[in-house]
Amino acid sequence: MVSRRTLLISAVASASFARPAMAAPVKGVLYRNPHCACCGAYARYLERNGFNVTLKSTYDLTKVNALFGVPEALAGCHTMFLENRYVVSGLVPVAAIRKLLKEHPDIRGISLPGMPPGAPGMKGTKRGPFVIMAIAKDGTSHVFATE
Ligand SMILES: [Cu+2]
Question: Ligand 1 centre from 33 Cα, in Å?
Answer: 7
This prediction has a pTM of 0.83
Q: What is the pLDDT of residues 90-122, one digit of tens each?
A: 999 999 999 999 999 999 999 999 899 999 999
Question: Ligand 1 centre from 105 Cα, in Å?
Answer: 26
Question: Ligand 1 centre from 65 Cα, in Å?
Answer: 14
Q: What is the pLDDT of residues 42-89, one digit of tens each?
A: 999 999 999 999 999 999 999 999 999 999 999 999 999 999 999 999
**Class of the CATH domain delimited by 25-146:** alpha beta
Domain boundaries, the chain: 25-146
Strands (E), the chain: 27-32, 52-57, 78-82, 86-90, 109-112, 131-135, 141-146
Question: Ligand 1 centre from 78 Cα, in Å?
Answer: 6
Task: Assess contact for 110 and 132: CB atoms under 8 A.
Answer: yes
